[in-house]
Structure 1
């Protein structure tokens, strides 16, 4: 394994945790903007419809994927700028 990959591991883990928190907050705001309840439904929420549960899961997944990709890309680009080596 390349030294740059090993050096990037703790950075990647930290960025991953941060991206999860950012994505969670973004999803809460997006769900409110969709005009739904303040709290998104869980898949096992008996009082919500299939459509609501699946819509919430799809929106949440899209937001999490986009935020993770943006944070990962920014972290890799910063590492490249600092070290001259792309961590991936």
Structure 2
């Protein structure tokens, strides 16, 4: 296993946690704008419509994917700067 891969493993785990926190906060803010309500729906929320649940899930999924990709890419670039090798 390449040294850059080994060096990136703990960085990747930490970045995964950070990206989840960032994405969760971003989703809450976006949902406030979309719905005007700070309470984000869950799939088992009986008082929410199918439309609300599916729109919330789509928005949440898109935000999580974009944030994760941005954070992962930033971590890989930083690892290359430190180790001189891409953590592939």
Q: Name the TM tier (shorter chain).
A: over 0.9
Partner of 1:19 in structure 2?
A: 19
Looking at both structures, which has the greater relative contact order when contacts are Cα pairs under 8 Å and sequence separation is at least 6? 2
Partner of 1:79 in structure 2?
A: 79
In the TM superposition, residue 6 of structure 1 has moved relative to its aligned partner by 1.0
In the TM superposition, residue 76 of structure 1 has moved relative to its aligned partner by 0.3
Structure 1 length-normalised TM: 0.95
In the TM superposition, residue 83 of structure 1 has moved relative to its aligned partner by 1.4
Partner of 1:70 in structure 2?
A: 70
Cα distance in 2, alignment partners of residues 75 and 50 from structure 1? 37
Partner of 1:36 in structure 2?
A: 36
Structure 1 residues without counterparts, runs of 5 or longer? none
Cα distance in 2, alignment partners of residues 83 and 2 from structure 1? 11
In the TM superposition, residue 41 of structure 1 has moved relative to its aligned partner by 0.8
Structure 2 residues without counterparts, runs of 5 or longer? none
Q: Which stretches of structure 1, 4 residues or more, deviate above 6 A after TM superposition?
A: none
Cα distance in 1, alignment partners of residues 36 and 63 from structure 2? 17
